[in-house]
Amino acid sequence: MMEDLNRLSLSEARDALRRRDTTAEAITRACLEAIDAAGALNAFVHKTPELAVARARAADARLATGDAPDMCGLPVGIKDLFCTRGVASQAGSRILEGFVPEYESTVSQKLADDGAVMLGKLNMDEFAMGSSNETSVYGNAVNPWRRGNDETALTPGGSSGGSAAAVAADLCLAATGTDTGGSIRQPAAFTGTVGIKPTYGRCSRWGIVAFASSLDQAGPMTKTVRDAAIMLRAMSGHDPKDSTSAQLPVPDFEAALTGDIRGKTIGIPREYRMDGMPDEIEALWTRGREMMQDAGARIVDISLPHTKYALPAYYVIAPAEASSNLARYDGVRYGHRAALAQGDGITEMYEKTRAEGFGPEVQRRVMIGTYVLSAGFYDAYYNRARKVRTLIKRDFETVFAEGVDAILTPATPSAAFGLGEMADADPVRMYLNDVFTVTVNLAGLPGIAVPAGLDRQGLPLGLQLIGRPWEEGALLNAAFAVERAAGFVAKPAKWW
Query: Under the criterion CB under 8 A, does residue 240 sit at the interface with other proteins?
Result: yes
Catalytic status, residue 79 = yes
Shortest Å distance, C-beta 159 to other proteins: 16
Shortest Å distance, C-beta 81 to other proteins: 8
Among 334, 356, 418, 458, binds other proteins (CB under 8 A): 334
Residues 374-413 that bind other proteins (CB under 8 A): 374-375, 378, 382
Q: Given the residues 131, 183, 236, 323, select the one marked as catalytic.
A: 183
Catalytic status, residue 324 = no
Q: Given the residues 79, 121, 197, 264, select the one marked as catalytic.
A: 79
Residue of 10, 34, 1, 76 whose CA lies nearest to 494? 34
Radius of gyration of the chain (CA): 21
Among 270, 308, 328, 394, binds other proteins (CB under 8 A): 328
CA distance 441 to 215: 5
Among 33, 97, 242, 356, binds other proteins (CB under 8 A): 242
Q: Which is nearer to other proteins, 21 or 242 (CB)?
A: 242
Which is it for the CA torsion 390, 391, 397, 401, positive or negative?
Answer: positive
Among 57, 214, 238, 299, binds other proteins (CB under 8 A): 214
The piece of 52-60, 117-125, 235-243, 281-289 that touches other proteins (CB under 8 A) is 235-243
Shortest Å distance, C-beta 456 to other proteins: 42
CA distance 272 to 410: 8
Among 293, 363, 370, 398, binds other proteins (CB under 8 A): 370
Q: How many CB atoms lie within 10 A of CB 20?
A: 11
Query: Under the criterion CB under 8 A, does residue 495 sit at the interface with other proteins?
Result: no
Residues 87-116 that bind other proteins (CB under 8 A): 89, 91, 96, 99, 101-103, 105
Catalytic status, residue 11 = no
Shortest Å distance, C-beta 295 to other proteins: 38
Which is it for the CA torsion 78, 79, 85, 90, positive or negative?
Answer: positive
Q: Is 284 within 8 Å of 453 (Cβ atoms)?
A: yes
Query: Under the criterion CB under 8 A, does residue 363 sit at the interface with other proteins?
Result: no
Q: Which residues contact 84 (CB under 8 A, 6 or more apart)?
A: 78, 101, 104, 105, 108, 118, 121
Q: How many CB atoms lie within 10 A of CB 436?
A: 31
# chain residues binding other proteins, by CB under 8 A: 43
Query: Under the criterion CB under 8 A, does residue 489 sit at the interface with other proteins?
Result: no
Shortest Å distance, C-beta 321 to other proteins: 6
Among 350, 397, 421, 484, binds other proteins (CB under 8 A): 350
Shortest Å distance, C-beta 312 to other proteins: 17
Shortest Å distance, C-beta 382 to other proteins: 6
Binding string, residues 135-174; x marks residues near other proteins by CB under 8 A = ----------------------------------------
Q: Given the residues 9, 93, 159, 204, select the one marked as catalytic.
A: 159
Binding string, residues 173-212; x marks residues near other proteins by CB under 8 A = --------------------------------xxxxxx-x
Q: Which is nearer to other proteins, 19 or 333 (CB)?
A: 333
Tally of CA atoms within 13 A in the half-sphere of 20 that contains its CB: 6
Residues 243-282 that bind other proteins (CB under 8 A): 243-244
Query: Under the criterion CB under 8 A, does residue 55 sit at the interface with other proteins?
Result: no
Shortest Å distance, C-beta 36 to other proteins: 28
Omega before residue 105 within 30° of 0, cis: no
Q: Which residues are marked as active site?
A: 79, 159, 183
Residues that bind other proteins (CB under 8 A): 82-83, 89, 91, 96, 99, 101-103, 105, 205-210, 212-214, 240-244, 320-321, 323-324, 326-328, 330, 332-334, 346, 350, 370, 373-375, 378, 382
